[in-house]
Amino acid sequence: MDDRNDIPAHGAGLTDEPTPPTAQAARRPGLPLAGPEISPVRPVPPLEQSFPSSRKLAVGDLEVPFRAISQTGGHPDVVVYDTTGPQGQDPRAGLPKRRQPWIDARLAASDGNNTQMHLARKGVVTEEMRFAAIRENVDPEFVRSEIARGRAIIPANVKHPELEPMIIGRNFLVKINANIGNSAVSSSIEAEVEKLQWSTRWGADTVMDLSTGKNIKETREWILRNAPVPIGTVPIYQALEKVKGKVEDLSIDVFMETLEEQAEQGVDYFTIHAGVLLRYVPLTARRVTGIVSRGGSIMAKWCLHHHEENFLYTEFERICGLMKKYDISFSLGDGLRPGSIADANDAAQFGELRTLGELTEVAWRHDVQVMIEGPGHVPMHKIKENMDEQLRLCHEAPFYTLGPLTTDIAPGYDHITSAIGAAMIGWYGTAMLCYVTPKEHLGLPDKDDVKAGVITYKIAAHAADLAKGHPGAQARDDALSKARFEFRWRDQFNLSLDPETARDFHDETLPAEPAKDAHFCSMCGPHFCSMKLTQDLRDLGEQAAIDQGMQDKAQEFRAGGGELYVRVRADLPQGAE
């Protein structure tokens, strides 16, 4: 659900978000530049440009963000979930460190394990749990219990104080992730920060930095300091850079050094391909597309070169020790996910999934939070099996899926082929959907592709929330439908996920301002609009009912003798009051 019309009750604890202290932020030390080629990062336009008639709200003592969409004609505001983060900040200074006091207080009394799961299992409701509960409109105790049993996670590294906490779990709103990051042949630090800002502007709940080009560390620092949402990475990419691209030179020591570096920067969750075991690699030999995961192929090559078991698997408990120190969540990678419809639900995929379930139990013994990554390319009739097997094998840990793509024939439109599968698997119980952009399989996405991917996946996630019957999920749909039927064009635009595009499409053929008050659009014109005709029928029906009522009263008057005054009690003499 994107809709929070029931938050907060009667406006209690709700205030307009204060104007950000941009002057103060500008005085803070700037982020280090990677080199002279880094140009100043452009701030995104004001929120009102993307979301007209909207204002940010801050709820309660934790100042939990929401966005209120105003309607015309006295219709009530529609309050929706908000991922946009503090506005008007200078990207060179980063975002305010809103979690720092919470973190400092907990670390002062820490026993060395700083995870939300560890605290939840001790019965503690943290500020992050309260924050997420307000966002989800649930009791904080429910949030604590879901985290304690491993059915939900709050990715929140203690080194990422700029974060606005959120929760991932199948009993909460379906979340979406946006992937950004440079490559060896394209993009820059400023472009990646811009993609981050646009991702959160359009509704990404988390962002993964998948950079594989130059300045990986500097790019990640800029992203983290400007991220109000959890940031995930695939550490094996940087580890491979450290050994100059020679897979055979990778080791657990190089990997742990990389984890520590990224943990110190504040990464909230790591994709770790610990389920790619030596015995599973031969199972991919007859696949149409082999191993399509970059991380999976790296670890498979290492296993075959050394003919040894995956060091991420054999040293998994050592990795857990670092994860619990920083409260970093595992996103156990699907390194053997199917990359084509022909390879869906095969022995390699489900073998790895079984191993991820085993590793989940290991992580939980350390009170480390876990979610499980999933496919991939899967036809519609095989999607439910993926969800059922994940719940069974991985003990109800949250499922985080790429799509799945439901057909392989639409390069350039794979944001659509995957959103079909994403809506279905979200309905079945997936907790977070990893977006796919129109550039999937074709090239590195730019900010316009990021927008297309995020909006497409917001649709899929919301459709899943509707199908699950999530409380309040339908409120925004109902408000927009009512505005549509009443020809309140501006409200219809503003209540949509992408008001700019909705307005632009309308104005392509009817750009004049009076057209936004017209009772038709260019599709049907003034005489064939079904909604206008329906309104006319209703108006006729109401008038007919009025006319019939007048006739009935006239007949009643005549039947009563046609007298202007009548006695109301038969026992009263004529003329008595």
476-488 pLDDT, tens digit per residue, is: 999 999 999 999 9
Residue 127 amino acid letter: E
H-helix segments, 150-213? 189-202
On whether the CB atoms of residues 406 and 375 are closer than 8 A, the answer is: no
Greatest pairwise CA separation for the chain in angstroms: 115
Q: What is the pLDDT of residue 214?
A: 82
What is the pLDDT, as a whole number, of residue 59? 97
Q: Token pair for residue 305? A: 């070169």
Judge contact between 25 and 206, C-beta under 8 A: no
Q: What is the DSSP letter of 82?
A: -
- Measure the CA angle with vertex 496, ends 399 and 459; round to 5°: 25
pLDDT of residue 188: 84
Tokens of 68: 């209120």
Q: Is the distance from CB of 461 to CB of 203 less than 8 angstroms?
A: no
CA distances from 75 to 483, 486, 551 (A): 9, 12, 36
Residues 472, 476, 482, 486, Cα dihedral to 10°: 160
Q: Which residues pair with 16 in a beta bridge?
A: 57
The pLDDT assigned to 517 comes to 78
Q: pLDDT at position 513, please?
A: 84
Rounded to whole angstroms, the Cα distance separating 492 from 489 reads 5
Structure tokens at 316: 């998994």
For 163, how many CA atoms within 13 A lie in the half-sphere containing its CB? 30
Query: How many angstroms separate the CA atoms of 296 and 293, rounded?
Result: 5
Question: pLDDT (tens digit, 9 = 90+) per residue, 387-426?
Answer: 999 999 999 999 999 999 999 999 999 999 999 999 999 9
Query: What is the spatial distance between Cα 22 and Cα 147, in angstroms, rounded to a whole number?
Result: 36
Q: Taking the CA atoms of the chain, what radius of gyration do you get in angstroms?
A: 28
The tokens for 197 are 């800002």
Residue ranges, the chain, pLDDT below 70: 1-41, 520-523, 525-529, 531-533, 535-537, 540-544, 546, 564-577
Give the residue from 368, 331, 354, 152 showing the smallest Cα distance to 234: 331
Listed residue (138, 206, 131) closest to 398, CA to CA: 206
* CA nearest neighbour of 70 among 51, 54, 47, 48: 54
SS3 208: strand
Three-state DSSP class for residue 56: strand
Q: What is the pLDDT of residue 19?
A: 46
